[in-house]
Amino acid sequence: MGRAFEYRRAAKEKRWDKMSKIFPRLAKTITLAAKEGGPDPEMNAKLRTAIQTAKAQNMPKDNIENAIKRATSKDMENFTEVIYEGKGPHGVLVVVECATDNGNRTVANVKSYFNKAGGGVVPNGSLEYMFNRKSVFEFEKPEDFDAEEFEFALIDAGLEEMEIEDENIIVYGDFTNFGTIAKELENLGVNVTKASLKRIPTSPVDFTEEQLVDIEKMLDKIEDDDDIQQVFTNIA
């Protein structure tokens, strides 16, 4: 896959391994899921899966419970999810998902990150066709795993693709099938380690290692912002 890919992967893992950033983002995901579908995990597949993901990252039980309780607190009344799209150094395309209680602050910050890197924010929807929105689930290979039977069991739930990487499995489906896939994985006894809605580029672009250095500087600034939940690019 080349040095550029390895550089990108190492840089990404370094950023997301910062526990001070992971826990607050996981908490926001849980809170937003509870706000959207209710605080009962048994009745809310999105919340149930968010909790599973948090537990897999060793998030303390008290943090999880507090995140659920926060969904009904007054400070959540103006808490919204916002998406921004932009172009960065060397033409890289970026979609930024935010969760904020102050839209003016967030948009000003996001614009500054792009502008200082020589890029800029574009009107929402401009990059929609450049990304496919998918439900993505990651988990360790179960015992007595039969790929064909497993895949067959998930097809009716909305499975589109399954990747097997050593002992890890990644399942992809349309974003509208998040709940049905999550439920079927539970029925199959799978312990999900990561689950999210991702934007996967339709035409990934290979950048040089030198270009990635410039791009990563901008992505670091964006992802260090407390209002940012997820960042997606068209990097191959």
Structural domains in the chain, CATH included, are 2-76 (1.10.10.200), 80-129+202-233 (3.30.70.980), 132-201 (3.30.70.980)
Q: What is the pLDDT of residue 6?
A: 53
Query: Over the stretch 118-174, which tens digit does the pLDDT of each residue have?
Result: 999 999 999 999 999 999 999 999 888 899 999 999 999 999 999 998 899 999 999
DSSP character string of 43-107: G-HHHHHHHHHHHHTT--HHHHHHHHHHTTSGGGTT-EEEEEEEE-GGG-EEEEEEEES-HHHHH
First to last CA, the chain: 10
Can you give the pLDDT at residue 11? 60
pLDDT at 137: 95
Q: Which residues in the chain come in under a pLDDT of 70? A: 1-20
